[in-house]
Amino acid sequence: MKKNIFPIVLAFASQMAFSQYLIVGKDSISVKDYIRDNKYGLETNGPDKSVNSTVEFLLLQQLAKEKKADTLNFFVNSINQKMSELREEKFYPKPVSEPLLQDFVNSNQKEIQISLFIKEKKADDKTDYKKLYNDVKSGKMTMDDFLAKNSTPDASKPFYIKPGMLDYKLYQEIKNVPANSYTTFIDRPNIVGFAKVLNTRPSLGYIIFGVLSIPNDANYEATKAKIYKELESGKKFQAVVKEFGSTEEEKNSGGAVMGSPILPDEVYEAFKGQKKDFYTKQPILFNDKYFIFNIYNMEPYTLNDANRKFFQKEMLSTSYGEEVTSRLVEWLKTQNKYTETADFAELKKSYQSYLNPKNPKAMLFTYGKNSVTYEDLKKAIDGQYKNLEQMPTNQWSELLNHQSQQYIVGVYAKNFENLPDVKPEVDELRKNLLSEYIFSEYLKGEVKNNPQLFTEYYNENKAKFVWEKRAETRAAVISDPKLLKEIEKEIKDPKKWEALKTKFKNQVNDKNKVLVHFEEGKIQESSDIFKKNNVPFKKGTFTTKISDRDVVVAIDALLPEQQMTQEESQEDMTDGVTEKVLQKTIAEQRAKTKIEIQPAFMAELNKNFKK
């Protein structure tokens, strides 16, 4: 009977498929990943050199980890900075953030004037606000009369709003309500309210402006005149504020107001149609001070690649940020299964249900591979909140829903570094920082702390450190051609050199350039002055031109080839000594590290890349 050879063949094929690895210590790379990440090196240098470079790179990376380079301040700070940038750029997936960002920027193209009534619910307040809302909406009562009776004078005043200033859902309703119309009645667990839309006006853009305050006192007119004299002379607004600002904070900040707040009507009218660096031609009085306003910058509310990151950051700092988070949670629930149990539904009924659970060990909800028990929830809530017994029952379920949402976001945030479009960037930075440690810290330290290495290297490589033939030279670079003959005559005599330098010390021509610049030293025969500027390599005095200037060169002596001293060679030896330490370090790492280049790994590389 024939033996079945298929299991043997399959086992061999499987072994071949899973033996295509390069293993260096704790690091292993499959041939597929290696080709993907090192294609250029393979094509340029061939498999052998490329793999050897990778082995050396991994050995040095592992040495840096052994030296705990990843705990050093420069390393930690660099990773934290990168993570901050990545969170800002990628924490909110495009399907979540983009629609809201578009809406935020587009909605900012207009400002809406409203009258707003918002009131916190209180048990002792028996007013039927829904009935009063219906009376206002039907015309039985004006909005002004209603606010006069049910709000404070300051809160009753109409005001302009822009996206993010109010609750997201309320704003979404307001922006679609026509002028002189009302929103629906707001009746939430903790508040009641409604708004009337009065007017709209075009936005002037995202404005960073400056203010210069002038006290309204006996010196007002004189101070005002001095300020405008400076501004009209072309002096920058920031510099004027530095001189005339009425507070230290104002002086130091240039009076800058960030965040593009809603402008008072007078300032809005003054800025309308103006551009960067415009300032109000007359101060505007607010309360007990006059103010001069200046436009530092004005960015139109039009989304593009250059301002996308900026506007997203602005959006997240407003109430839109809460909506982004809410939508992120819903999106995350589609990526990993989220399930709530009956025990969690029971806890949501009341605070008493939470205090006296039917099952203290109960699982409440799961998200992907993560789960939360009653004990987990209680620990989180007790650590964040006090006096929960005072919370109205209708707000309790909202609190528990908020806790589950925060948990989901927390899991996502904790795993953010490992997301497919984040991890490669962080890993690449880590590799670069470990390499930076080896070459900027470790090797430099080894070289600095072992001066005998220079002596050894010098003695082994004396032939490399030989001065070629040199000329002892003195040179004068002349800015005024009229001085050429005088300099040529005086420079010939070495004894007159010091007197010549003293004569022209600190003298400049009509363009404020040094009249005569003097240099002296030993110049090698291969230098440009001999090879490109036609100065012969022999004793004597010679004249040439360099960059349209006359240069007189006096060669006093010619020196033969000479052995450099160790001190003279020090700078030239640094690279060689460092390379020697590097190779010694790599050899030591090789000796103590298991390195396995599996035959199938090299076979695959040699099949695809030949050098």
Q: What percent of the chain has pLDDT over 70?
A: 97
Q: What is the mean pLDDT of the chain?
A: 93
Lowest-confidence region among 10-24, 64-78, 167-181, 215-229: 10-24
Residues 6+ away with beta carbon under 8 Å from 58: 24, 25, 27
Residue 1 has pLDDT above 50, yes or no: no
Lowest-confidence region among 59-73, 319-333, 353-367, 498-512: 498-512
Q: What stretch of H or E contains 160? A: strand 159-161
| The pLDDT value given to residue 12 | 39
Query: DSSP letter at 479?
Result: S
The encoded tokens of residue 415 equal: 């795993």
| Residue 549: CB atoms within 10 Å | 14
Closest CA to 50 of 67, 38, 60, 64: 38
User: According to the 3-state scheme, what is the secondary structure of 280-317?
Assistant: CCCCEEECCEEEEEEEEEEECCCCCCCCHHHHHHHHHC
Segment 118-164, tens digit of pLDDT: 999 888 889 999 999 999 999 999 999 999 999 999 999 999 999 99
Query: What is the DSSP secondary-structure string of 12-37?
Result: HHHHHHT--EEEETTEEEEHHHHHHH
Query: DSSP letter at 193?
Result: E
Q: Residue 510: which pLDDT band, with cuts at 50, 70 and 90?
A: confident
Query: What's the average model confidence in pLDDT over 305-326?
Result: 95
Do the beta carbons of residue 175 and residue 134 sit within 8 Å? Answer: no
Residue with tokens 């006290």: 215
Given CATH 3.40.640.10, say whether it is the number of domain 206-299.
Answer: no
The encoded tokens of residue 474 equal: 């003195």
Residue 71 has pLDDT above 80, yes or no: yes
| The pLDDT value given to residue 177 | 95
Residue 496 has pLDDT above 60, yes or no: yes
pTM, two decimals, is: 0.76
Kindly list the distances between the CA atom of residue 315 and the CA atoms of 62, 105, 201, 285, 474, in Å, as whole numbers in the listed order.
43, 8, 21, 32, 67
Residue 496: half-sphere exposure toward Cβ, Cα within 13 Å: 12
Judged on CB neighbours under 10 Å (0-12, 13-18, 19+), 470 is buried
Segment 271-292, tens digit of pLDDT: 999 999 999 999 999 999 999 9
Residue 377 has pLDDT above 50, yes or no: yes
Q: Residue 611: which pLDDT band, with cuts at 50, 70 and 90?
A: low
Query: What's the average model confidence in pLDDT over 303-313?
Result: 95
CATH class of the domain defined by 110-202: alpha beta
User: Measured in whole angstroms, how far is the alpha carbon of residue 500 from the centre of its chain?
Assistant: 56
Query: What is the DSSP secondary-structure string of 514-552?
Result: BSEEEEEEEEETTSHHHHTS---SSSEEEEEEETTEEEE
Distance, in Å, from the CA atom of 167 to the CA atom of 196, rounded to the nearest integer, reads 15
Query: What's the average model confidence in pLDDT over 13-29?
Result: 75
Do the beta carbons of residue 330 and residue 264 sit within 8 Å? Answer: no
Residue 9 has pLDDT above 50, yes or no: no
Segment 545-598, tens digit of pLDDT: 998 899 999 999 999 999 999 999 999 999 999 999 999 999 999 999 999 999
| The pLDDT value given to residue 389 | 86
Q: Residue 298: which pLDDT band, with cuts at 50, 70 and 90?
A: very high
Kindly list the distances between the CA atom of residue 588 and the CA atoms of 322, 440, 592, in Å, as whole numbers in the listed order.
55, 19, 7
Residue 17 has pLDDT above 80, yes or no: no
